[in-house]
Each structure stands twice: as C-alpha cells, then as structure tokens.
Amino acid sequence: MTHHVSRRSFLSTTLLVGAAGALPGEAASDRDEAKPFKPGIITTWEHGRPATETAARHLKNGVCALDVVEKGVNVCEDDPSVTSVGLGGLPDENGVVTLDACIMDGRRHRAGAVAGLQNIRNPVSVARQVMELTRHVLLVGDGALDFARKAGFQEQNLLTEHARQRWLEWRQNLNPDDNWIDRTHDTVTMLCLDGRGDLAGACSTSGLAWKIHGRVGDSPIIGAGLYVDNEVGAAGATGVGELVLQTLTSFTIVELMRHGRAPHEACREAFERMCAKIPEARTTQEAFIAIDKQGRVGCATNSETFVFYYSDGGPPERNKPIPIS
C-alpha cells in the first residue's frame, strides 16, 4: 500500500540531575507505576543554547517532548549565522545546501526523517510530517522536497552570502590530499524527557561542509544519529557521521542504558567500542549525548571544543565535558 500526502489533507561527563520527582498526580504514560523522574532537555553545541532556551520555555509550559524538540531545533535551523544547520548551512562540493534531519517520538516509537533535502529551512519539521502523514520513515532528495511542497512548506534559497564566500574560498584552496571528512560540521541534536515522563529527540544538520553531492551522514538515520526508547532513554550523536553509521552509536547507547549503564557510562562505552572497531575515531571529532527515563543526562566526547546545554525548564546550563583522550 502506498501513502501519498495528497490523499490525506496532511571524555566523559555526568550530570546527575538533582533529586528526581514526578509531577504530582502524573504517571508516565507508558508505565504501570510512576517512578521518580525529572524532566529535562539536553542539546549539542554552543548554538544549542538559544534552541534550549526556547525548548525550556515550552517544557515548563507542559508541552510534550515531541513538540519541545521540534520547536527547539527550529530555532537553530532559522538562524542564518549557524553554518552547520538549516538556513546558512555550508553547502556541498557543488555549492548546494542539502539538509539531513530526523525526529523520534518515544510514546509511539515512531520516527520521520529526510536526507539531502534542498530549499526548505526546517528539515526537522518536514521529518515530523513524514512521521505524522505517512507510514514511511525516510524520504530523500527530490522526493523529500516534493513531499515538503505538498505538505505546505515554502521554498527558499538557503545559501547565504557568507556560506557562498566560504565555499568559494574552499574551492580556491582545493587540497589534493583531501580526505572528505576533515570538515567543519556541528549538528544540533536535542533530547527531551517531558513532564509526563515521555521521551523524544530530534536532530538537524547540513552535514559535512563540501561533502560529495549526495552524501548522507548519520543524522537522519534512526539508530545512528538518534534513537529513543520510551522505556529506557534517548541518545544522539554529533561528529563525523560515517563512523557513527558504521557503529550505530545512538542505538548502542540506549541498549547500554537498558542494561543498567548510567547515561555517561553508556556514552563512554559506545565511544570506546567505536574506537576499538575504528581506531580513526580517536582523531575524528565525535560527541554523544544521552538522557535516561529518570532524567539523568550524560555525554562522552573526544573533542576539545564540544559543549552541551542542559535545562530542567529553567535557564540553560552550559557544560564543557572533559574530552576522552
């Protein structure tokens, strides 16, 4: 059976987050018994700060985790000064901005994703509509754009003058030893445990700058760049996506939490596994974040520059993890 839009009208750090407590009279929607938990949001990178601010406001107002992560990530996508996400993202080798994004709803264990999407500044919202309006999970390239148009998204040029200048500079300095992965890249990934105890996650990226046209990273691949299990926790990645794809890092982290690891332990173990299989991971930039069902968050990274933001509904707290060497 096919589904057409038109047929429907459409290092390692731990942050042990305080004393946990369920909201009075509320039970986690997928559990028989209410266990103590603390709602929270964790977001990658410095540009995750305004995204977390917006997300925190929604969390505080009782918005569900799925809407929190979508609205939060939209903030980053809309900001033309962020060169790794949405409008203003750095283009591929042909000078074309192509975006990858996904979203996952723990309550229904459903997901939506788009890859290689052009001309739409909010790919995470297109991913949300893939999840809501179809029974598919991933749409790519022209098909994703066609779907977005039918779903009512407006097209625009996403290549800012700043990004175009950087692309021109890169072309002028083309290096014969180019390895295709030593590129600037910083995906925004956000995970949320809401006041009902439900989990969701989202990520959005323009991927590696100057990538080969058609290259897709980990960010829109469920289990690689993002994974959510409402009974266990959620995890997300930012870094060189090829390595994350080869080791399905986010799925691995959630499975490790299922087997009792705290979020920071799960992230760390997933990183060590990645390095054992792919020694190159010690030198590429990788960072993983996680939140569990109690609202504890954790992170592991080998990056000197990686930061993440945390909020329990209040002002975002900046965290600078100690890189794993």
Minimal distance in Å, beta carbon 37 to ligand ASP? Answer: 28
Interatomic CA distance for residues 125 and 67, integer angstroms: 10
Residues in 82-121 at the binding interface with ligand ASP, rule: CB under 6 A: none
Minimal distance in Å, beta carbon 46 to ligand ASP? Answer: 13
What's 137's DSSP letter? S
**Catalytic one among 98, 160, 187, 252?**
187
Residue closer to ligand ASP by CB (options 75, 90) is: 90
Identify the three-state secondary structure at position 93.
coil
Residues in 181-220 at the binding interface with ligand ASP, rule: CB under 6 A: 185-187, 205, 207-208, 217-219
Residue closer to ligand ASP by CB (options 122, 219) is: 219
Q: Does 58 bind ligand ASP (CB under 6 A)?
A: no
Identify the three-state secondary structure at position 99.
strand
Q: Which of 91, 223, 239, 295 contacts ligand ASP by CB under 6 A?
A: 239
Minimal distance in Å, beta carbon 208 to ligand ASP? Answer: 5
Do the bridges between strand 138-140 and strand 110-117 make them parallel or antiparallel, or are there none, so unpaired? parallel
Q: Among 25-33, 141-149, 171-179, 236-244, which window interacts with ligand ASP (CB under 6 A)?
A: 236-244
Minimal distance in Å, beta carbon 185 to ligand ASP? Answer: 3
| Residue 267 identity | C
The residue with tokens 């949405």 is 86
Binding-site size for ligand ASP (CB under 6 A) equals 13
Residue closer to ligand ASP by CB (options 230, 250) is: 250
Vertex 247: Cα angle to 246 and 252 (nearest 5): 155
Minimal distance in Å, beta carbon 281 to ligand ASP? Answer: 13
E strands of the chain, at which residues?
A: 13-15, 40-44, 99-105, 110-117, 138-140, 188-193, 199-205, 226-229, 233-239, 286-292, 297-301, 308-311, 317-319
Q: Catalytic residue at 187?
A: yes
- Please name which of 187, 232, 214, 260 lies closest in space to residue 92, comparing C-alpha atoms: 214
Q: Which of 240, 290, 299, 300 contacts ligand ASP by CB under 6 A?
A: 240
Q: Which residues touch 241 (CB under 8 Å, ≥6 apart)?
A: 185, 207, 208, 216, 217, 218, 219, 224, 225
Give the contact letters, 59-78, x = binds to ligand ASP (CB under 6 A), - = no. --------------------
Positions in the binding site for ligand ASP (CB under 6 A): 185-187, 205, 207-208, 217-219, 238-241
Residues with catalytic roles:
187
